[in-house]
Amino acid sequence: MKRQKELGGWLLASPYLLSAIVFFLIPLGWSLSLVFFDWNLISPTRIYVGLGNFREAVTSPRVYNAFVNTYKFMAIIVPGVLLASLCLALIVQHLPWLKQFYAVGFFLPYLASGVAIGLVVRGLLSYDSPLNEFLRQIFGSSPRWLRDPTWATLVISFMIVWKFSGYYALIFLAGLQGIPRELYEAAALDGAGPFTQFRKITLPLLYPAFYTVLVLAVGLCFGIFTEPYVLTGGGPRFSTHTWQLEIYYQAFERFRAGYGATVAVLNAVATFVSVLLIRRVVESWGAKRGFR
Q: Which residues bind other proteins (CB under 8 A)?
A: 40-44, 122-123, 125-129, 144-147, 232-238, 248, 251-255
Determine phi and psi for 259, rounding to 5 degrees: -70, -40
Cα–Cα distance measured from residue 132 to residue 237, given in angstroms and rounded to the nearest whole number: 24
Cα–Cα distance measured from residue 145 to residue 156, given in angstroms and rounded to the nearest whole number: 10
Cβ of residue 41: shortest distance to other proteins, in angstroms? 4
Cβ of residue 129: shortest distance to other proteins, in angstroms? 7
Phi-psi region of 202 (alpha: psi -120 to 50; beta: other; left: phi over 0): alpha
Reported as type and span, the H/E element at residue 43 is: none
Cβ of residue 161: shortest distance to other proteins, in angstroms? 22
DSSP code at position 46: P
Cβ of residue 237: shortest distance to other proteins, in angstroms? 6
Exposure string (b/e) for 177-186, b if CB count within 10 Å is 16 or more? eeeeeeebee
Angle at 77 between CA 72 and CA 78, to 5 degrees: 105
User: Which is closer to other proteins, CB of 20 or CB of 131?
Assistant: 131
User: Which is closer to other proteins, CB of 4 or CB of 141?
Assistant: 141
Closest CA to 131 of 105, 157, 155, 166: 155
Cβ of residue 47: shortest distance to other proteins, in angstroms? 12
User: Which is closer to other proteins, CB of 123 or CB of 193?
Assistant: 123
Closest CA to 118 of 264, 224, 254: 224
User: Which is closer to other proteins, CB of 136 or CB of 200?
Assistant: 136
How far is CA 275 from its chain centroid?
12
User: Which is closer to other proteins, CB of 123 or CB of 180?
Assistant: 123
User: Which is closer to other proteins, CB of 132 or CB of 165?
Assistant: 132
Cβ of residue 263: shortest distance to other proteins, in angstroms? 15
